[in-house]
Amino acid sequence: MMKFKINLSIYLTFSLSLFLFLTDFSSVYAQDTINFKQKSDFWKNVRFGGGLGLGFGSGYTNIMVAPSAIYNVNDYFSTGLGAQYSYVSSRDYFNSHIYGVSLIELFNPIPEVQLSAELEQLRVNNTYTQFNPEIKDNFWNTALFLGAGYRNENVTIGIRYNVLYKEANNVYSQAWLPFVRVYF
């Protein structure tokens, strides 16, 4: 009889322990299946845009590609990066390859007005072909554009001023430049 009581108590202890373990395990498992991951809103706030320019004339070619991306920090402020490549050629005079990057800051005090600051670093490789031998003029150019524009949803039209403009650097023909900015 004593052996039966020991076996029964061992059986009951084992059964109760197994039951408690399984019910506790299932509650842990249930908690594990709940998805507590928070989705990031980063990509919802990123917009892409840029510029594309083509100019052709009698002996003149100008091709420009300038993609950019900005992150909307809030309704008033955006920050981003841009890249640029330009090829300019005037037959029998010069060829120019210009490439670089920029840091873009946009501020919208009201929805219709956009203020901007853009720091641009370009590598300029000019070759003057009218001379024999050809003359190469390669240099870095830094520009700091401050601008203002009228904004309607994702399009801004305005003007910007290069505060670091130098007439002798052969990159921009003047300090004041109009712009059209589009972000999707």
Residues 105-161 have pLDDT tens digits of 999 999 999 999 999 999 999 999 998 899 999 999 999 999 999 999 889 999 999
Domain CATH for 91 = 2.40.160.20
What tens digit of pLDDT does each residue of 25-52 get?
444 444 555 555 677 789 999 999 988 8
**Residues 30 and 51 occupy one common structural domain:** no
Same domain, yes or no: 60 and 86: yes
Single pTM value for the model:
0.73
**85, 116: one domain:** yes
The domain of 4 spans 1-37
Domain identity same for 82 and 102 = yes
CA angle 88, 92, 97 (to 5 degrees): 25
C-alpha–C-alpha distance, residues 181 and 119, integer Å: 16
Whether residues 54 and 142 share a domain: the answer is yes
